[in-house]
Amino acid sequence: MIMHTAPKTDFLAPDDTASELPNLALAPLMEPQPKPVPATPVLPAQRIAAWLRGVLPGVLMTALSLGLFIAFWYFATKYRWDFYIRFTNIPSPGDVLTNAANLMHSDKFYNNMWVSVRRILLGFGIATVLGVTFGLLIGQYRAARGLMFPLFEVLRPIPAIAWVPMAIMLWPTNETSIVFITFLGSFFPILLNTIHGVKSVDAVLLRAGRCLGANEFSLLRQVILPAALPHIFTGLTIGMGVAWVSLIAAEMISGQYGIGYFTWEAYSLIQYADIAIGMIVIGMLGLACSSGIRLLGNKLMPWLPTHSSRGRA
Amino acid sequence: MIPFENPNQGSTTGHIRIENLRVSFGHNSAAVEAVSDVSMEVKPGEFVSVIGPSGCGKSTLLNVVAGFVQPSDGTVTVDGKITDKPGADRGMVFQQYSLFPWLTVRKNVEFGLKQQGMEKFQREQAARTLLGLAGLLAFENHFPEQLSGGMKQRVGIVRALATSPQVLLMDEPFGALDAQTRVVMQQILTNMWQRFRISVLFITHDIDESIFLSDRVYVMTARPGLIKAEIPIPLPRPRTPEMASTPEYLAIKHKLRNLISEESLKAMGGELKDGGLGGFNIEVGPQGVAELI
């Protein structure tokens, strides 16, 4: 039997013992009222000043970090630095900005972005559905594990990119083979983290569920799935990263359209500034996707204390 | 034997019968007998505690009634039905709270009702009523992590009662709580027990707790687990903490303490002989260990 020590989050807990001790012997139990904590009154100006003091150092350091990088880039391209690393053909920040302003009005460019995002949504979406479903089954049922896990273990070490030639032969269109590559990249991280999540579900929760009359399906759906959700979201975050890696590589090798294709094509067409734009856009789209997953995670898992108590160091 | 002043005497369901129960884990030579030949019963509406040294198999006993462990021999029935799998007719309260952390307090209480297919509106009402009885209505939308240990365990009890089980099985439910909270919780439990007219099988290693709560107390021996004594608690109800200084209470406590310390010493003596002090080559009975200490 596991011995649990005193609960660790006492600072959150309203004190129930103190309010109930006096009426011990009384039959009807009084409802303990949550005690409101009076906020210390602060003037708006003071509050803004305090906020600035907290936020300003971070902002300054971010600006410095990025500023130094751009300054280095600027001077290296301006003076055509050629010392093992060659900046002779590298576009300057100014070139990139000018080209970016032009591309803002190009429908073709937006189309490339949209095509890539659509491939991610499809491939990653299918990987999520299949990865979580198989993960739950493999994690919970020995038969499912015995039947499916060996196959997945054999396929897992093959990087998604290595599938490109096979995928082109396998699928009827180029589009589906790229979606397939994206799917493959994200499927395994999601699958493995889901299995791990199911394995680490506290056994006492399963016993509690069974005692409350849950059948096998409700146990899977209402206990194991939510209990494994934090691990599943770890898998989704990793899977999204690998999905982008696989997508860009697949687009560069076999693509038509897509932001990876755009970047590679810029190189072939000697549009060097567009290479940098492609890279920056890929970074921003990747960031947007992982932020989306984090937001979804916070929304689906409100019981986790992540967003309320963020430490400042 | 009819327990003294059982306020739940009108109850007709929740009859636990354990006959010649034997449970062993492992196979053949490696088999460990956790419970050997235990017979006992909890009458409808009765509050019965099982007390014994740690490792005496009292939790195993409870797990057989809950349907998590299959008996190697003997039968366990609740209202005549063999307890071969867990079900909502036997509510269980665990020491480790075991609330679903992703559900709010009210949704935790609704869980069992949802499994029974009750409509959303009805189960919300039912959960609110129960939470009100336990003084927890103000916290219905809190998550378990936001509650203190005592409150969590109150939710655990309310959740187990929500499906209207015939019996409540409790495995050292207040073991992780501090002494003050524990006293409050015992009061609350007594209250709920009388209100729901339910049978309770309560596992504990706390002598005062068993006296304060129970109609009867079974004392179990150290490995292998056997019933050593059955002690009725004829104290009037409602019981108050002040009773702890009455001669009747002290007499019972004294009797129980003697029974249990014998067993604990036996368990310790066994451990000393098995592993510890190898070089000393000590052969001690219970008295011997008492002298050593």
Q: Domain of residue B36: give its range.
A: 1-89+165-242
The answer to whether B21 and B63 are in contact (CB under 8 A) is: no
The answer to whether position A244 is within a domain reads yes
Q: Do A31 and B183 touch (CB under 8 A)?
A: no
Do B142 and B189 belong together in one domain? Answer: no
Q: What confidence tier does A11 reach under pLDDT thresholds 50, 70, 90?
A: very low
Do B188 and B81 belong together in one domain? Answer: yes
The region of weakest confidence among A118-122, A229-233, A234-238, B48-52 is B48-52
Cα separation of A23 and B158, whole Å?
20
Q: Do A6 and B176 touch (CB under 8 A)?
A: yes
User: Which residues in chain B are closer than 8 Å to A229, comparing Cβ atoms?
Assistant: 102
Cα separation of B159 and B104, whole Å?
12
More reliable by pLDDT, B268 or B81? B81
pLDDT, residue B117, reads: 93
Domains held by chain A: number: 2
Q: Is some CB atom of chain A closer than 8 A to the CB atom of B213?
A: no
Do A280 and A167 belong together in one domain? Answer: yes
Do A233 and A272 belong together in one domain? Answer: yes
User: Which residues in chain A are closer than 8 Å to B85, comparing Cβ atoms?
Assistant: 210
Residue percentage of chain A with pLDDT more than 70: 84
The answer to whether position B289 is within a domain reads no
Q: Give the residue on A whose Cα is nearest the Cα of B59.
A: A1
Q: Give the residue on A whose Cα is nearest the Cα of B194.
A: A27
pLDDT, residue B262, reads: 77
Do A257 and A277 belong together in one domain? Answer: yes
Cα separation of B34 and B228, whole Å?
15
Q: Do A31 and B90 touch (CB under 8 A)?
A: no
pLDDT, residue A81, reads: 85
Do B103 and B214 belong together in one domain? Answer: no
Q: How many CB contacts within 8 angstroms connect chain A with chain B?
A: 141
CB-based contacts of B106, cutoff 8 Å, min separation 6 = B124, B127, B128, B131, B140, B141
Neighbours of A160 (CB within 10 A): 24
Do B136 and B173 belong together in one domain? Answer: no
- pTM of the prediction? 0.80
Do A131 and A79 belong together in one domain? Answer: no
Q: Domain of residue A60: give its range.
A: 48-90
User: Which residues in chain A are closer than 8 Å to B111, comparing Cβ atoms?
Assistant: 209, 212, 214, 222
Do B157 and B176 belong together in one domain? Answer: no
The answer to whether A1 and A203 are in contact (CB under 8 A) is: no
Q: Give the residue on A whose Cα is nearest the Cα of B103.
A: A303
Do B75 and B205 belong together in one domain? Answer: yes
User: Which residues in chain B are closer than 8 Å to A8, comparing Cβ atoms?
Assistant: none
User: Which residues in chain B are closer than 8 Å to A220, comparing Cβ atoms?
Assistant: none
**In the listed set B110, B131, B164, which residue is the last one of a domain according to the structure?**
B164
pLDDT above 90 (res B120): yes
Cα separation of B286 and A204, whole Å?
36
Cα separation of A92 and A31, whole Å?
68
Q: What confidence tier does A17 reach under pLDDT thresholds 50, 70, 90?
A: very low
Q: Do B101 and A303 touch (CB under 8 A)?
A: yes
The answer to whether position B263 is within a domain reads no
Do A99 and A86 belong together in one domain? Answer: no
The region of weakest confidence among A81-85, A230-234, B105-109 is A81-85
The minimal CB distance from A214 to the residues B115, B172, B188 is found for B115
Cα separation of A179 and B275, whole Å?
62
3-state secondary structure of A201: coil
Do A77 and A144 belong together in one domain? Answer: no
**In the listed set B242, B264, B288, which residue is the last one of a domain according to the structure?**
B242
Q: Do A16 and B95 touch (CB under 8 A)?
A: no
The answer to whether position A7 is within a domain reads no
pLDDT, residue B291, reads: 41
Per-residue pLDDT averaged across B25-30, rounded?
Answer: 78
| pLDDT 10s digits, B137-155 | 999 999 999 999 999 999 9
Do A85 and A221 belong together in one domain? Answer: no
Place of tokens 């009455």: B246
Q: Do A17 and B150 touch (CB under 8 A)?
A: yes
**In the listed set A90, A123, A157, which residue is the last one of a domain according to the structure?**
A90
Q: Give the residue on A whose Cα is nearest the Cα of B168.
A: A211
Q: What confidence tier does B95 reach under pLDDT thresholds 50, 70, 90?
A: confident
Q: Give the residue on A whose Cα is nearest the Cα of B195.
A: A27
| pLDDT 10s digits, A103-152 | 988 899 999 999 999 999 999 999 999 999 999 999 999 999 999 999 99
Cα separation of A239 and A128, whole Å?
9
The region of weakest confidence among A33-42, A61-70, A180-189, B163-172 is A33-42
Angle between helices A272-300 and A259-268 (to 10 degrees): 170
User: Which residues in chain B are closer than 8 Å to A230, comparing Cβ atoms?
Assistant: none
**In the listed set A90, A119, A148, which residue is the last one of a domain according to the structure?**
A90
Do A77 and A111 belong together in one domain? Answer: no
pLDDT, residue B225, reads: 80
Domains held by chain B: number: 2
Do B84 and B123 belong together in one domain? Answer: no
The region of weakest confidence among A81-85, A210-214, B107-111 is A81-85
The minimal CB distance from A33 to the residues B134, B138, B238 is found for B138
Do A81 and A150 belong together in one domain? Answer: no
Cα separation of A80 and A74, whole Å?
10
**Taking a contact as any Cβ pair under 8 Å apart, which residues of chain B between 82 and 121 contact chain A?**
85-88, 90-92, 94-103, 111-112, 114-116
Q: Do B102 and A10 touch (CB under 8 A)?
A: no
Do B205 and B229 belong together in one domain? Answer: yes
Quote the mean pLDDT of chain B. 85
The minimal CB distance from B137 to the residues A3, A31, A301 is found for A31
Cα separation of A243 and A131, whole Å?
13
The answer to whether position B266 is within a domain reads no
pLDDT above 80 (res B268): no
Cα separation of B12 and B31, whole Å?
39
Min Cα distance B37 → chain A (Å) is 22
Min Cα distance A202 → chain B (Å) is 9
What is the 3-state secondary structure of B166-221? CEEEEECCCCCCCHHHHHHHHHHHHHHHHHHCCEEEEEECCHHHHHHHCCEEEEEC
Min Cα distance A198 → chain B (Å) is 15
Give ipTM to 2 decimals.
Answer: 0.84
pLDDT, residue A141, reads: 94
Do B52 and B160 belong together in one domain? Answer: no
| pLDDT 10s digits, A255-304 | 789 999 999 999 999 999 999 999 999 999 999 999 999 999 999 999 98
Q: Do B94 and A208 touch (CB under 8 A)?
A: yes
pLDDT, residue B265, reads: 74
Give the closest residue to B57 by CA, choosing from B200, B203, B199, B201: B203
pLDDT above 90 (res B251): yes
User: Which amino acid, residue A180?
Assistant: F
**In the listed set B225, B242, B259, which residue is the last one of a domain according to the structure?**
B242
The answer to whether position B232 is within a domain reads yes
Min Cα distance B19 → chain A (Å) is 23
Min Cα distance A21 → chain B (Å) is 7
Do A77 and A123 belong together in one domain? Answer: no
Q: Is some CB atom of chain A closer than 8 A to the CB atom of B187?
A: yes
Do A193 and A212 belong together in one domain? Answer: yes
The answer to whether position B126 is within a domain reads yes
User: Which residues in chain A are closer than 8 Å to B94, comparing Cβ atoms?
Assistant: 204, 207-208
pLDDT above 60 (res B280): no
Cβ-in-10-Å burial (0-12, 13-18, 19+) of A119 comes to buried
Neighbours of B90 (CB within 10 A): 25
pLDDT above 50 (res B1): no
3-state secondary structure of A308: coil
**Taking a contact as any Cβ pair under 8 Å apart, which residues of chain B between 140 and 179 contact chain A?**
143-152, 159-160, 163, 171-172, 175-176, 178
Place of tokens 């307090």: B105
Q: What is the CATH number of the domain that holds B30?
A: 3.40.50.300
Nearest 5°: the CA angle B141, B87, A197 is: 60
Q: Do A6 and B159 touch (CB under 8 A)?
A: no
Do B119 and B72 belong together in one domain? Answer: no
Do B123 and B82 belong together in one domain? Answer: no
CB-based contacts of A305, cutoff 8 Å, min separation 6 = A9, B145
User: Which amino acid, residue A269?
Assistant: L
| pLDDT 10s digits, B58-86 | 889 999 999 999 999 999 999 999 999 99
Cα separation of A212 and B161, whole Å?
10
**Integer CA distances (angstroms), B38 to B13, B22, B170, B276, in order:** 22, 7, 18, 30
The answer to whether position A21 is within a domain reads no
Q: What confidence tier does A41 reach under pLDDT thresholds 50, 70, 90?
A: low
Do B186 and B84 belong together in one domain? Answer: yes
Q: What is the CATH number of the domain that holds A150?
A: 1.10.3720.10
The answer to whether position B10 is within a domain reads yes
pLDDT, residue B52, reads: 84
The answer to whether position B183 is within a domain reads yes
pLDDT above 70 (res A313): no
Cα separation of B221 and B32, whole Å?
15
Q: Give the residue on B whose Cα is nearest the Cα of A305.
A: B145
Mutation target for A interface from B78, B178, B187, B237: give the one with most A CBs within 10 A.
B187
Do A207 and A127 belong together in one domain? Answer: yes
**In the listed set A90, A110, A141, which residue is the last one of a domain according to the structure?**
A90
Quote the mean pLDDT of chain A. 85
Q: Do A213 and B163 touch (CB under 8 A)?
A: yes
